[in-house]
């Protein structure tokens, strides 16, 4: 499969780009009409389950016609520096005298 921005994995197999785009189009249209109803999309299209994920900069639609999909993989931790926890109060300000 080419490295397009959209991909579909059906029962563990990547679909060709033209089929992937057509299934993504149907998935998007279904969700526009039925907000958040991925289960309904799966049922209407003969799948047991369907789920969209983001993988390596690509939108991936994962569908299964044989078994329910396992829960989504946890996302990778960010490489950005960790934020300071907000529950930790800032250090007290020390008053200084001007001479």
* Residue pLDDT tens, the chain, 99 long: 446 788 999 999 999 999 999 999 999 999 999 988 889 999 999 999 999 999 888 899 999 988 665 555 565 555 655 555 556 666 777 766 766
Delimit the domains of the chain by residue range: 6-64
CA distance 14 to 49: 16
This prediction's pTM:
0.63
Question: Can you point out the beta strands (E) in the chain?
Answer: 6-10, 13-14, 49-55, 58-64
């Amino acid at each position: 499969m080419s490295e397009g921005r959209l991909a579909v994995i059906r029962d563990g197999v990547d679909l060709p780009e033209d089929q992937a785009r057509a299934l993504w189009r149907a998935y998007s249209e279904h969700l526009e009409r039925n907000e958040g109803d991925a289960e309904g999309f799966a049922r209407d299209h003969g799948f047991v389950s369907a789920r969209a994920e983001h993988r390596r900069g690509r939108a991936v639609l994962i569908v299964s016609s044989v078994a329910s999909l396992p829960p989504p993989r946890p996302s990778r931790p960010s490489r950005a520096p960790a934020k300071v926890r907000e529950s930790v109060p800032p250090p007290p300000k020390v008053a200084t005298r001007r001479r």
